[in-house]
Structure 1
């Protein structure tokens, strides 16, 4: 059935998914920053540090995929024109991106200027060419303090193609979306899981665009398997166990194996997560902090979701500072937990404060 006449409204499970997405992004980047050294714990049985790292590198790699699915769930299948859509969406992602790149890169330059032997040792000479190159690399996400910034360029390309997708889906039924997703899953299997060249060129179905369509589809489908909490839990657990187990099998004492972002196992994992959140009410859990919209829990979820883009743009900077002061002083397993919590709280709290500054709130990455 067509979904073009369905009205959108604020739905809590979308906020909960967005909050989960940014938390898992932080978890995965903690792995990238400190976790690779845990490969030495590989063995039979693996060390607690290796297990913790395995969970970070596999199950927690779903954050970007969830963000993409939410973009599709919230934007596709609705009647809107290209110009208003782009005028609304592009500044919302571009302004915070430019703001935080300029602010954080400038801060790094200033710190290095006054403390040239500090941790910001990226400048062989302090001249215009070196500094401009550093700023360019920051915008491109090609320096360690700005590596997550590749996301901006990816989501920008996704927004540019979204009007075409939306026009198609407005005049299509969900079976046509299923047709697209089946072919996308084939590319996930061959190109990103078993790394085998499929004989048919399917490049137009690969990558992030499939996750956008998947989010739209899972929100609107009436198929029982995607609208039953127990099926959703089974999909998630099966894919998560497969990710952890296969990661262990393919790892070595010197190398930690991580699946590609668009592997078919991650596609199943995020499908399970999305459907668990969508159908969570079927569990009939009557905890007040979940059902009461004024509870601290729900307000916190909404707040994290509100600042999720700003947290994404600032968390790597915060995390790197924390690593400098904490590594070597805290046990590895505890260090993971501390880094995730402090990175989230500091980034989130800083944005909440800046959001109170007039005219600045539209630049920091708050919805």
Structure 2
């Protein structure tokens, strides 16, 4: 069955912008979330609520990638040369930046042994030189399989895509701690991981659904999942006396429902933004990947140099304030890096 590409890409632009901000909110609040038992409970719960609200960020990024790319027919060499290089080159640059920051922050050290220094750098590149770069390692894997999976998606019927997605969801459920004992010995790894979000994004963006009450139902599902994730995380954390993130897991049923409901809601929700906000959204969208790569450095420096973090005011104010400030500075930083002659557009992201 042939699927058309998603129409009206305004909603995808809106969703990308929101997801980018959500990632920064997530990383701003995560520091407070880790302080369970060391900060007042009301402050910790604020971080819990913010975390629950924005857990859709990375899954929605992957779904957008699927929506925009899986309907295309790729020539393999061209795809690997152009698309993959646009991910890998900035990633390597920013990985070295974070290695440099770790050295500056005395988290790692170099000596006069060139080979030992090289091994340390390679070790950092292998496992990730900053906490948020796991996303890029995952994304590279998805891009490697995208020319293959896109051929399946373009040839598949809706029934076949649903078959794939249902098995993906079933395998995901069986991977959860509370259900893993029921997992059979059948080899199911072929249906695991973020590839399901890739296909889900394509499926939801190209499939027409009956719209009566759909937006209201999706909004209720989203809010319901926020509540379930928030309360569930609090209860299991209280039970274990330490932060427990089982409800936060992106490859878990709660975040799938959270992400899918928001994706469909935006698809069918017309948002008439003022011209100024459209310009801000589109300008930011040009540098979204670079902002993702660089925002962690800005969060570090805002806290280190200016004491701007969740501790600035009450967390309900300081978390979104810090995130917005970080996003603005990150966009300007990536824009300036892109202006560097010869290398800017390759390294900035």
Please confirm whether the aligned pair reaches a TM-score higher than 0.5, indicating the same fold: yes
Distance 1:86 1:244, change over 3 A: same
1:33 to 8, 16, 31: 31
**2:256 is equivalent to residue 267 of structure 1:** yes
Matches within 5 A, 1:226-265: 228-252=214-238, 254-258=241-245, 259=247, 260-265=249-254
Equivalent-residue separation in structure 1 for 2:298 and 2:120 (angstroms): 19
TM-score by length of 1: 0.84
Distance 1:313 1:175, change over 3 A: same
Deviation at 1:268, TM superposition (A): 0.5
Alignment correspondent of 1:91: 85
Deviation at 1:141, TM superposition (A): 4.4
Mark the runs of 5 or more structure 1 residues left unpaired by the alignment. Answer: 113-118
Alignment correspondent of 2:174: 190
Matches within 5 A, 1:308-319: 308-319=288-299
Deviation at 1:358, TM superposition (A): 3.3
Equivalent-residue separation in structure 1 for 2:140 and 2:253 (angstroms): 24
1:94-149 per-residue CA deviation (whole Å, 9 max, x = no partner) reads 1111222234434654xx4xxxxxx3342174643453244224323444xx1222
Does the 8 A contact of 2:5 with 2:67 survive in 1?
A: no
Distance 1:34 1:141, change over 3 A: farther
Distance 1:214 1:122, change over 3 A: same
Question: Number of residue pairs matched?
Answer: 341
Distance 1:353 1:64, change over 3 A: same
Equivalent-residue separation in structure 1 for 2:168 and 2:26 (angstroms): 24
1:197-230 per-residue CA deviation (whole Å, 9 max, x = no partner) reads 4114321111101000000000011232799322
Mark the runs of 5 or more structure 2 residues left unpaired by the alignment. Answer: none
Does the 8 A contact of 2:5 with 2:206 survive in 1?
A: no
Equivalent-residue separation in structure 1 for 2:8 and 2:81 (angstroms): 21
**2:126 is equivalent to residue 128 of structure 1:** no
Equivalent-residue separation in structure 2 for 1:133 and 1:29 (angstroms): 29
Alignment correspondent of 1:153: 137
Deviation at 1:189, TM superposition (A): 1.6
TM-score by length of 2: 0.88
Does the 8 A contact of 1:39 with 1:252 survive in 2?
A: no
1:61 to 48, 52, 55: 55
**2:185 is equivalent to residue 203 of structure 1:** no
Alignment correspondent of 1:13: 11
1:330 to 312, 318, 321: 312
Equivalent-residue separation in structure 1 for 2:286 and 2:178 (angstroms): 37
Does the 8 A contact of 2:19 with 2:56 survive in 1?
A: yes
Alignment correspondent of 1:180: 164
1:20-78 per-residue CA deviation (whole Å, 9 max, x = no partner) reads 22212112222333431144458xxxx33122210233222222111111111011122
Does the 8 A contact of 2:33 with 2:243 survive in 1?
A: no
1:321 to 298, 301, 305: 301
Alignment correspondent of 2:71: 77
Q: Secondary structure at the match of 1:248?
A: helix
Does the 8 A contact of 1:323 with 1:339 survive in 2?
A: no
Does the 8 A contact of 1:193 with 1:263 survive in 2?
A: no
Alignment correspondent of 1:52: 46
Alignment correspondent of 1:116: none
Distance 1:8 1:85, change over 3 A: farther
